[in-house]
Structure 1
Amino acid sequence: MPAVSRIKIALPLLLVIASLLMLWALWYRPSDDGQLSAALAAAGMEPPVANAGELATPSDSQQTQTSFKTVSKDRPTQAPKDVVLNSLDELIALFDSLGYNQAGWQAGNREVPRLTFEAVSERWQQTSSQIPVQLKKMVFFRLMAPLILVANEQILLERQAIAQAELDAPELLALARKYRLLTDDSGSLTEEQRQQLLARVDIMPPSLVLAQAAEESGWATSRFTVEGNAFFGQWDFSGKGMTPKAQRKELGNYGLARFDTPLASVQGYLFNLNTNAAYQSLRGLRAQLRAANKPITGLVLAGTLDKYSERGQAYIDGIREMIRYNRLEQVDEAYLSDRAPLHLISGEEARE
């Protein structure tokens, strides 16, 4: 075949091949979703998963818990449905109907329903000493765990906003001010400041929060818990706090912070640990664990709480013993259900 003829045949073939390559490149070009995934991965996160069940973390996993990295896109958005309960037996029956009980837990089910409640009643304070210890603990942990997971979910959504936003986006700047990274009206963050903000805006392991709530509130029987939903013994120097009977005058005019709801108390506690300079070591260790894709556990982070109590190391040892004895590390594998939220109301509250 003459050379000229071969060239005439080859040119159309080359054009066809070039066109196919261009189509392939356009078809497989990374989308904005891919860029978003990369941004979230850099922040130690993942895009939203399909449903709550995919948040389950295997008990033997040596990676950061799935529910610590992302949230379900199928999570409910409707207002909670009120459920009136007239007795402890009715509360236990509700737990059973939701599969939120010891049998389910022992079978490996770590799904937690979205439960909230308005306050701790005086009746609980007065009668809890008559309830078997294991039952009292079970009720306390099963009522508090949903609040912790809801508060953590809200923080994870803030982390997603931080990872995705432009550096001058109003929502990013608002979060930087909320978490006290910015104290002025700066018009933009730097990428380094974004990473500093992500180190502050992060979850706490439920095991740690449960142990501290039990310790600081006396299993929700303390005067401050009943009067002001104070589960974590946070101080308030605004003059609006609840005054201790044995106030230490050398510390100034302080009281115990009061909150509108138990959920608000959990949110206030998380904000305190995420912003107070006393807990910088906790935030640093948590960021290291996340960057290394290691489990974030209450037993590990408890070691940074030497400034939470004047008891220092003895306090840390007590919190760790609380976690171990009650096997709370299993709750670090828990995740929120996609089922509709429920707001629990005591019969006494409903009648008022």
Structure 2
Amino acid sequence: MKLRNIIISIITIVIFSGCATKKNPKGLASVASDTLVNTIPQNYMKTVDDLDDSQKYIGGSYKDMLDLFEKLNYTPEAWQAGIREIPRVYLVAVGERWGTTTSKEITTLNKKQLFFRGLAPLILHANELILQDRNRLEKIKTSFQRNNSLSENDSIWILKLVKLYKVKTDDQITEAMFEELWKRVDIIPPSLALGQSATESGWGTSRFAAQGNAMYGQWAWGENAMKPENQRTHLGNYGVAAFGSLQESVSAYMLNLNTHNAYAELRKIRANLRSNGKKITGMALADGLSRYSEHGESYVQSLKSMMEYNRLNPTDDAYLSNNPPIFLIPAAN
């Protein structure tokens, strides 16, 4: 079923507003990275400050979110009926009430459904943008193979992509560089991204999610990092990376999986699936995440069980509608 005549550009609603302090927040030791990739392409999200006040509508609670989802036919019933089209409802931030109040007032089932529906469009959008880059990469790669040279604009763009995806190069464009980019510039299955976000953020209730939109427990160093209550000083002045929006958090997570050496196995699994014409699934790529957590293989098995129990596998078939985007922005109070 196609969503028609949704005449909403941007809506501001009080939703997912969470700040639950945990002594040992999940995901704190999750990323095997010594640095956090903070470079997110500017088009990954429209800046909230650019929005016109006349485009905003202040709602009241998570019920407003449910009402909006009903209007968009973005419901559990539609999903059960086999509808995989998802509206472009972009949740900007978790907010401060989700963990302390809202998530405790609703059933566990409703909490999970709201969480997954809130994150899914962001994950699909991040993948959509990655595929845009992948499609351009393919065209440039084909041109290079044919002519052994590139236009100035294509060369500049490729070298920026090389830097973003941390491909080793001496600023020379080579066939090997293209092959490595081809392995890295690719999607992360929604089922995997949803499963890890729920696991790492405690369904969005961790204080890191509330205070910094940190959905994947990515580490950062320095004064700007959010410090855990029990910081292990022998590991340095580390903390959890904060993000200006949930979209930035999702995109940084995908960029991390697509660049860090710890996840080379994940990229290898994905490349093999591609070359054999097989579907890229979260279950398959989860096997490449043994280094995402200090718990190793037990983390992988736990993640797989969580994805299976919550029936996330069908989300790998979801896609975004062509309707105008709706930005859900938690109100200040």
Same structural fold, with TM-score higher than 0.5 when normalized by the shorter chain:
yes
2:199 aligned with 1:199, yes or no? no
Residue-pair matches, total = 272
**Residues 316-348 of structure 1: per-residue CA shift (max 9 Å, x gap):** 1111111101100010000011000000133x3
Alignment of structure 1 residues 38-77 onto 2, 5 Å: none
Match of 1:340 among 310, 324, 333: 324
TM-score by length of structure 2 reads 0.78
Write out per-residue CA displacement over residues 174-203 of structure 1, whole angstroms, 9 at most, x where no aligned residue: 11111111454x2x4222321210101111
- Measured after TM superposition, the shift of residue 118 of structure 1 is 2.5
From 244, 252, 276, the equivalent of 1:292 is: 276
- Cα shift at 1:258: 0.6
Most deviating of 169-178 and 280-289: 169-178
Partner amino acid, structure 2, of 1:170 = I
CA RMSD of aligned residues (A): 1.9
- Which residue is equivalent to 2:212? 228
Listed one character per residue, the Cα deviations across residues 3-27 of structure 1 (whole Å, up to 9, x for unaligned) are xxxxxxxxxxxxxxxxxxxxxxxxx
- Does 1:91 pair with 2:65? yes
Q: Does 1:141 align with 2:127?
A: no
Secondary structure of 2:135's aligned partner: helix
Residue by residue, what CA displacement relative to the aligned partner does 1:282-336 show, whole Å, maximum 9, x if unpaired? 0010010011111111111111111001111221111111110110001000001
Tell me the CA shift for residue 161 of structure 1.
1.4
Higher relative contact order (CA 8 A, sep 6+): 2
Q: Tell me the CA shift for residue 83 of structure 1.
A: 4.8
Which one has a larger percent helix, Structure 1 or Structure 2?
1
Q: Percentage identity across aligned positions?
A: 44
> Unaligned regions of 5+ residues in structure 1, if any?
1-50, 53-76
Alignment partner for residue 201 of structure 2, among 204, 213, 217?
A: 217
Q: How far 1:265 moved relative to its partner?
A: 0.2
Q: Deviations over 1:60-85 (max 9, x none)?
A: xxxxxxxxxxxxxxxxx9x9864533
Is 1:278 the counterpart of 2:262? The answer is yes
Superposition deviation, residue 130 in structure 1? 2.4
1:172 to 147, 158, 170: 158
CA contact (8 A) 2:169 2:177 kept: no
Q: Take 1:118 and 1:298, find their aligned partners in 2: how far apart are those partners? A: 24
Structure 2: distance between partners of 1:141 and 1:250: 36
Matches of 2:295 and 2:108 in 1, distance apart? 25
Instruction: Give the C-alpha shift of residue 237 in structure 1.
Output: 2.0
Instruction: Identify the match of residue 244 of structure 1 among 213, 216, 228.
Output: 228
- Equivalents in 2 of 1:122, 1:88: separation in Å? 13
Which of 114, 117, 122 aligns to 2:88? It is 114
Task: Normalising by structure 1, report the TM-score.
Answer: 0.74
User: In 2, are the aligned partners of 1:85 and 1:345 still within 8 Å (CA)?
Assistant: no
Amino acid paired to 1:248: R
Contact kept, 8 Å, 2:217 with 2:241, in 1: the verdict is: yes
Aligned runs of 1:313-332 on 2, under 5 Å? Answer: 313-332=297-316
Structure 2 unaligned residues grouped into runs of 5+: 4-45, 145-149
